[in-house]
Structure 1
Amino acid sequence: MGNSKKFWMWMGIGAAVGAALSLCDKTTRASVKEDLGKVSGTAMYIAKDPKGFASEVKDSVNKVRTAVEQVVDDVAFIAEKVDEIRDVPPQVADIMKETKEAIGKISEKANNQEQQA
């Protein structure tokens, strides 16, 4: 257990040193400052109106759920149409075969009539 504490202590120290070194860059500092401003603004909003925030989160979740359900329905519809399209070639082949047979019968009748005439 003692070694684990050392590990986490040095891990924290390393993270703090890394964070401090990264702040030497002016653009990084500006970016971190901007991000902290956004986070603190959001935290203040949540603290002032937790019920409103919870309501917004529920609305967002419901919108996402509705969108996902619509996508699922659309995918099911497309899958159904793909299955229908897969069935079309055999049906077309059957129609072509029947048409060929009908034309063959018509040709035979025409040849028989010509021979009888």
Structure 2
Amino acid sequence: MKITFLNLLILSLATFRLTRLLVFDKITEFIRNPFFDEIKEENEDGEMEVYYLPKKTGVKKFFGELLSCYWCSSIWAAALIVALFYLSPAISVPILLILAVAGIASILELVVQYFIEK
């Protein structure tokens, strides 16, 4: 199967969105929680700040480290997306398009927020 520029763009945007979904989004917090310890500290202004540190040992440490690293997670997300694209294009293309469109929407939202805050 030949990768066209459009395919590469869709795969890239889908990888971007899937990675953000796994690493940052609130709706997937339940996936990340078993791999992190939550540390609460009071800052100089008296506000509570929450830090998430990967577990200390074993498989939970591995996945905690992986999920705390956007770059690391994106490699695995890209591998999953490309594998799905090649192994089952009929099933994966609609899912990848949804992720890609959501990725574009995320980027556009960042741009809009940037100009609103100025």
Q: Same fold by TM-score, threshold 0.5 exceeded?
A: no
TM-score, scaled to structure 1: 0.25
Larger RCO, structure (CA 8 Å, separation 6 or more): 2
TM-score, scaled to structure 2: 0.25
Give 1 or 2: higher strand fraction: 2
Give 1 or 2: higher helix fraction: 1
Q: Looking at CA atoms only, which structure, 1 or 2, has the larger radius of gyration?
A: 1
